[in-house]
Amino acid sequence: MRALTLVADRKLSLVDAPEPAAPAAGEVQIRVRAVALNHIDVWGFRGMAFAKRKLPLVVGAEAAGEIAAIGPQVEGFAEGDPVVMYGALTCGTCPACREGRDNLCENVGGVMGFHVDGFAREVVNLPARLVVPVPAGIALRDAACAPIAYATVEHMLFDNARLTAGETVLVHAGGSGIGTAAIQLAKSLGCTVITTVGDEEKGLKAKALGADHVINYRNDRFEHVVRKLTAKKGVDVVFEHVGADTFSGSLLSLKRGGRLVTCGATSGPTVTLNLMQLFQQQYRIFGSFGASLRNIRDALGKMAAGLKPVIDTEVALSDFGRGLERLESRRVFGKVIVTF
Ligand SMILES: [Zn+2]
């Protein structure tokens, strides 16, 4: 079978790998059909000083496929069923796992495609407990955006920031995969969405997606525009993933008692924080990483009800590198999908 492996930093190789053995007890075998790219793939591709891993490594953290075989002691799956896969090897037995807080697993074996072999291969065996059925009527390339992009946004906005109907949210980088998801999920709840983009074309697309206000951060200081748009009050929630370039402005965009939730640092991880501002303004700041299986099921449920992920580009497995380049370039609007 074909498997796309990272052989050195910034060097991908499509290799012929042996097919996995028949699935063991508790496992299913999945024929992978679509892998969705995320910024974690860019970090992995570039090489990260803190990531403990061995190369070569099969890439791909977020994917959808079909059940190809079922191991002993597995119930609830049939051959051919469409499924998505959880993006990390959780233990399934620690208190966090048992309580459904999967992304707080105490014994996590690593993130797929980043620390351990991922999904950019034709066939993979996985514990059935990490496999989520896809409801009827969802294309696999759309379902592939559920386990990380949409589920992460669900976890950020609803579990962490507790966004409620009628609130105002600032979504950074509205053209990114998670930015488009955040606009859609916040709008579907009945929130007012302000978003930032880097060019006018993306601004038009963000508006078409439902954003109420679009700020081109190359032309205007976004925090000034946010204060104008909110009559100097600030927003209830800031959806952060840009980091160094925006974090201070994000805090200045919050109303007193507002919530900031962050899952990324694409422009750099180090910021300064004014503690006087933090406690006087009573800000609440949430770090968010990954999602629970419940978040994935919720995202798929919304897709079944009509939510359609924004797909920027679809590339073949052999063009995975071109997909990553597009993600790195910031020209992207929505998700980059690799199909098999
Ligand atoms: Zn666990």
Residue 49 pLDDT:
65
Residue 103 CA, ligand 1 centroid: distance in Å: 8
| DSSP code at position 66 | E
Helix axes 200-209, 177-189, angle to 10 degrees: 30
Residue 104 Cα to ligand 1 middle (Å): 7
Note the Cα 263 to chain centre separation in Å: 9
Residue 94 CA to ligand 1 center (angstroms) comes to 4
CA neighbor of 291 nearest in space, from 51, 49, 3, 40: 40
Q: How far is the CA of 289 from the centre of ligand 1 (A)?
A: 15
Copy the structure tokens of residue 202: 């993306």
Place of tokens 């204060």: 227
At position 33, the amino acid (one-letter code) is R
Closest CA to 198 of 181, 226, 222, 230: 222
Report how far residue 213's alpha carbon sits from residue 204's, in angstroms, rounded to the nearest whole number.
10
Tens of pLDDT along the chain (340 residues) come to 999 999 998 899 999 999 999 999 999 999 999 999 998 998 888 887 667 888 999 999 999 999 999 999 999 999 999 999 999 999 999 999 999 999 999 999 999 999 999 999 999 999 999 999 999 999 999 999 999 999 999 999 999 999 999 999 999 999 999 999 999 999 999 999 999 999 999 999 999 999 999 999 999 999 999 999 999 999 999 999 999 999 999 999 999 999 999 999 999 999 999 999 999 999 999 999 999 999 999 999 999 999 999 999 999 988 888 998 998 888 899 999 999 8
Distance 122 CA to ligand 1 centre (A): 27
Smallest Cα–Cα separation from 240: which of 228, 257, 225, 258?
258
How wide is the angle at C-alpha 261 spanned by C-alphas 205 and 284, nearest 5°?
140
- CA 197 / ligand 1 centre spacing (Å): 38
CB-side neighbour CA atoms (13 Å) of 132:
27
